[in-house]
Structures are given as structure tokens and as C-alpha cells.
């Protein structure tokens, strides 16, 4: 199985965050071409997120920075360990801070909210037909929704790694 998930109901306690805001973090990563990128993201994204100074004031920016930094770290690991270039992962993560829900995603991984038995759409997943047009080269296009750079053009332009 190439999927990984993480549930941290006690985010503050895990990272020693001492303020008056309760936080919980949940994430799912869908590995492509192997489990390496999904495992890496599940192991590191929440740690990188917890270190973002703006986490308390701007969770959206904190997530963008954390996704980018985690992607950069995985790329460096892949170069050092000569991992297959096909490894990648989509992902969706949510941070609950008191009564506020922040959803961050890369690719077509999705989260839904069910309220009173009805699905509430939280996001619009990244799809290759909606992304920045990409020349047929090994460029690194910018995804406008997340500010993430992609290393490889795969069947779907939508993942970390």
C-alpha cells in the first residue's frame, strides 16, 4: 500500500506549543510510484508545520511554507539516496485550531466535511487541465493554488516529490 495517514489530536502537546488555542492535525498522503514520498510527507510535514512562526496567526501561509520545505527536503533526500524519479505523493492535511479549520492540499487528494448528513465541499483539487501550461521539458511549473514547485511532469501534475 502506498498511502500513509496521520492523526494528531494533541498537536500542541506533541510540539510543546503553549498558548490558549487547542490544535489537532490530520493528514492523508497518496503515494505514486512507490511509498517513499508518502512516508516522508507523513513523517515530516507536521513537524515542519509546527516550526512555522506564522502558524498561530496565518495557518494558510504556514501550510504553504511547510509543504514547500518538506518537498525540498524530500528532493534532497531523493538525490542523495538516488531514489527513483517516479516517486511522488499527493496529500491533504487539516489543522483544527479551536473552531477554525484550515485545509491544505497538493494534487487530487481531498477532504470533505459532513454537516447534518450533508457533504460540505472544502476544496477544489488540483487537476492537470487547470494548472499552469507546461512545455514538454523538465521545467518546474508553479501551481498557483499552493505555490508548490513540481519536479516531474507525470501523468497528473499534482504531487510532491
pLDDT in tens, 97-133: 988 999 998 888 888 888 889 988 887 766 665 555 4
Please tell us whether the domain made up of 3-149 is placed in CATH 3.90.1410.10.
no
State the burial class of residue 122 (Cβ atoms within 10 Å of its Cβ: 0-12, 13-18, 19+).
middle
What is the pTM (predicted TM-score) of this model?
Answer: 0.76
pLDDT at 45 over 90: yes
Q: Give which of 138, 129, 87 is closest to 108, Cα–Cα.
A: 129
Q: What is the pLDDT of residue 136?
A: 39
Q: Please state the domain extents for the chain.
A: 3-149
Percent of the chain whose pLDDT exceeds 90: 47
Q: What is the pLDDT of residue 81?
A: 83
Tens digits of per-residue pLDDT, 26-37? 999 998 888 888
Q: Do residues 98 and 109 lie in contact, with contact meaning Cβ atoms separated by under 8 Å? A: no
pLDDT bracket for residue 42 (50, 70, 90):
very high
d(CA 28, CA 12): 20
Q: What is the pLDDT of residue 82?
A: 74
Tens digits of per-residue pLDDT, 12-25? 999 999 999 999 99
What is the greatest pairwise CA distance in the chain?
50
Amino acid at each position: 500500500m502506498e498511502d500513509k495517514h496521520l492523526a494528531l489530536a494533541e498537536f500542541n502537546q506533541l510540539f510543546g506549543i503553549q498558548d490558549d488555542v487547542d490544535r489537532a492535525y490530520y493528514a492523508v498522503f497518496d503515494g505514486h510510484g512507490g511509498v517513499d514520498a508518502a512516508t516522508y510527507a507523513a513523517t515530516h510535514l507536521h513537524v515542519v508545520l509546527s516550526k512555522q512562526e506564522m502558524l498561530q496567526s496565518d495557518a494558510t501561509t504556514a501550510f504553504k511554507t511547510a509543504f514547500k520545505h518538506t518537498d525540498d527536503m524530500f528532493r534532497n533526500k531523493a538525490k542523495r539516496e538516488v531514489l527513483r524519479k517516479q516517486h511522488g505523493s499527493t496529500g491533504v492535511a487539516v489543522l483544527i485550531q479551536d473552531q477554525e479549520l484550515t485545509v491544505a492540499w497538493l494534487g487530487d487528494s481531498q477532504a470533505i466535511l459532513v454537516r447534518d448528513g450533508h457533504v460540505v465541499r472544502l476544496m477544489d483539487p488540483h487537476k492537470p487541465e487547470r494548472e499552469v501550461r507546461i512545455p514538454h521539458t523538465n521545467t518546474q511549473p508553479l501551481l498557483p493554488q499552493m505555490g508548490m514547485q513540481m519536479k516531474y511532469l507525470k501523468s497528473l501534475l499534482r504531487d510532491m516529490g
